[in-house]
Amino acid sequence: MSKSNAKNLCPDSPHLLDESYVDEEVTINVGRRRTKHNKELENYHFVRKEHRYDFIDCNADETDELSFRILKFPLSNGTFEYIATNLPVDTFPLNEIKELYNLRWGEETAFRHLKYAGNMVHIHSIKPDFLIQEIYGKLTLYNFSSCIAKAVTKKDTSKTLHPYTLNHTQMQKFVRQYLIGKVERLEVLISKFLVPVRPGRKFKRIIRRQSADTLTYR
């Protein structure tokens, strides 16, 4: 969660934006109307009628109260990271949350390779059973290509400007061709397609909602 998201989520908690650690319980209220009573609620959020919120009907007077835990801690680059969770503080203290957050990046990387390199964004199936079959097929291909990646001898890049790593998009493509018998020297072919690792590069993270895209050739 970014600093701007934390400000929008908890407008009544300005201390979330200062240079200090934060580990506290926060309550927000969600409603469908901008009445005087609703605006006086703590951290009130108005949901427009064009936005989906299944728990309150449009123009209804009731509100929902949500409570969760906000954590803020500095990273090695000097910026602050914000985390919203419902894990209890007595079981998961701040240091343990930071360790879990660090371990989570491996899963984020795997999901990115599966979604884009494995082409999980575009699906061919429409019926639920075939859709599940396609998802498990792509999961199996990703797991198999990951095992191949661990077995491939990486090229020596000690004398190059940047270290290089395997191109997962090309690798999954070649593994698929290898399984159907179109290529034979899989290790040599994968080693030819490497991508440079440039540490310290920063890109603005664009957060947008994206759903699976079905192919409309039928």
Q: What is the pLDDT of residue 157?
A: 64
For residue 209, what is the DSSP state? -
pLDDT in tens, 97-134: 888 888 887 788 788 888 877 778 777 777 889 889 98
Highest-pLDDT range among 111-125, 137-151, 153-167:
137-151
Listed in sequence order, the residues at least 6 apart from 130 whose beta carbon sits closer than 8 Å to its beta carbon are none
pLDDT in tens, 19-40: 677 888 888 899 999 888 888 8
Percentage of residues in the chain having pLDDT higher than 70 = 82
The rounded mean pLDDT for the chain is: 80
**Contact between 69 and 24 (Cβ < 8 Å):** yes
Q: What is the pLDDT of residue 205?
A: 57
pLDDT band at 190 (very low <50, low <70, confident <90, very high): confident
CA pair distance 148, 133, nearest whole angstrom: 23
What pTM does this model have? 0.54
* Number of alpha helices (DSSP H) and beta strands (DSSP E) in the chain: 6, 8
Amino acid at 34: R
Q: What is the pLDDT of residue 83?
A: 84
The lowest-confidence range among 73-77, 93-97, 170-174 is 73-77
CA pair distance 103, 105, nearest whole angstrom: 6
CA pair distance 37, 44, nearest whole angstrom: 10
Q: What is the pLDDT of residue 168?
A: 81
